[in-house]
Structures are given as structure tokens and as C-alpha cells.
Amino acid sequence: MTTPPTRWELEYTGDNWEAYRARFEKLFEIGTDVEGEARFVDALCERGAAVLDAGCGTGRIAAALHRLGHRVAGVDKDAGLIEVAQGRYPGVNYLAADLLALTAADLAEVGAPEAFDVVVLPGNVLVFVAPGTERAVLANLAGLLVPGGRLVAGFATDRDYSPADLRADAQALGLPLEHSFATWQLDPMTDDAGWTVVVLRRPQDWVAPA
């Protein structure tokens, strides 16, 4: 399946890509805490849950959840970032694939779960997908959840895709909004918050839209 270029692919090339990689290399080297999203997701799960880190980048969240005892897969369209993740965190299932076209069969090929208790899109993932595909990405990822599973997304509120857009897409897809926060530390959402974290639930009887 041919998919359109993502905002990430259009923006992060050459020096911009290398600066992003180097930034996380530095954070890793100096021991900066970059696992807030993983702690949030861990609190939603039973131990040993199946978790998909959708848009995993250099793999930090998937690796943290793996250490916490969850069955984890990390997926990113950027094959260079997946190579970094595989080198730094052996033992975690990482896969280079577009979230718009990701399938259970793709995940099975790398030994990952085929259905998940939680799908998390941390670190601005949703605002870096291809313009106009956000709803389709959400629908595809919701289809990889077990009935009753949760989809978690966090992103800056000043981007082309807004919290209001996400709420509208979730409603159109039949994915109830369960929680909304301003940070991964559960600060309450306000109109002037610079960040949003939302938790959507896949109903037991959910059917993907045609």
C-alpha cells in the first residue's frame, strides 16, 4: 500500500533528522528522565499487558514498558529511527511501518502481539502523520485494540491538528473520550494548555467504519 508522505518525513530530513537523533542520544547519555509517558501507560494496564508504541521514534517508551513487564511492540515509519531503537534496546519488537497501513500480520511477522490492550501515540505522533489522514490512522490503530482497549495520544496544542479535531474524529469513529489531561502527570486540561493527553476507549461492540 502506497501511503502519502507524513509531516515528519517532510520536516525531518538531513540536519533536522540528525539533530533529533542527537538530542535523544544526549538525553540517554546524561540519564534524563524521558519515561513519563511510559509511567502513564503502565498505570492504565494490568502487568503483562500488550502495548503498541505507535510512532516509537528511537524506542524509549517501548523499552521502558518492556522493562516494566509488558508485551510491547514499537512501530515507526522512519526506518532510521527504528535502526537506532533496535541497536539501543535489543529484545524489544520494533518494526518500520506506516501507522496508516499497519496490520496485525505485519506485527506477527516480528513476533509482536496482534492485538493490544493499549495503543499509545506519545511525543506529537498524531500531529506528524500525513495531513488529512489523522482519522484514518486512529481508525486503523483502534482496529488493533482488543475490545475495551484504550488508545492514548499526547501532542502539543498549537499544531495544525488540534484537540478539538481529535475529539471530533473520536466521536465520528465511535471511540468515547475517557480522560483528558494537560500533561502526562495528570494535570487538568484547560483552554490555554500547551499540551493535551487523551485516553479513548474502544467499545466492546465497536466496528471499524467502512
CATH class label, 37-201: alpha beta
For residues 114 and 106, the answer to whether their CB atoms sit within 8 Å is: no
pTM of the model: 0.92
What pLDDT does 30 receive?
A: 64
Tens of pLDDT along 141-176? 999 999 999 999 999 999 999 999 999 999 999 999
Name the pLDDT band for 33 (thresholds 50, 70, 90): low
